Structure 1
């Protein structure tokens, strides 16, 4: 069972990525280091509501 989630940059709060998350294995919010085109560097992206 997967759920579609949106990832937002922790620095500039722009919503750059969307991905799927396995709800049965991951109960916490997803955090991934990805490239932000607004900031121009790799930053932490967190799952939004």
Structure 2
């Protein structure tokens, strides 16, 4: 039988540079990370500084719906 959903959920983080049209990009497309968070401790959306290979620098990654 399946287990109930716990407090930890899987989230997807997307780079905030996705809407910028920079000609200095290394790759085309949107880069995403997956992570987990505890929904009881952090009910709001989180932002983390991660490395984005598209813009070749550390940038804010925001939680997607």
Common fold: TM-score over 0.5 = yes
The structure whose Rg is larger is: 2
Give 1 or 2: higher helix fraction. Answer: 2
Q: May I ask how many residue pairs the two structures share in their alignment?
A: 49
> Any runs of at least 4 consecutive aligned residues in structure 1 with deviations exceeding 6 A, and if so which?
none
1:5 aligned counterpart, secondary structure = strand
Partner of 1:12: 18
Match of 1:37 among 50, 53, 60: 53
> What's the Cα RMSD here?
1.2
Give 1 or 2: higher strand fraction. Answer: 1
Gaps of 5+ in 2: 1-6, 20-29
TM-score of the two chains, using structure 1 as the length reference: 0.90
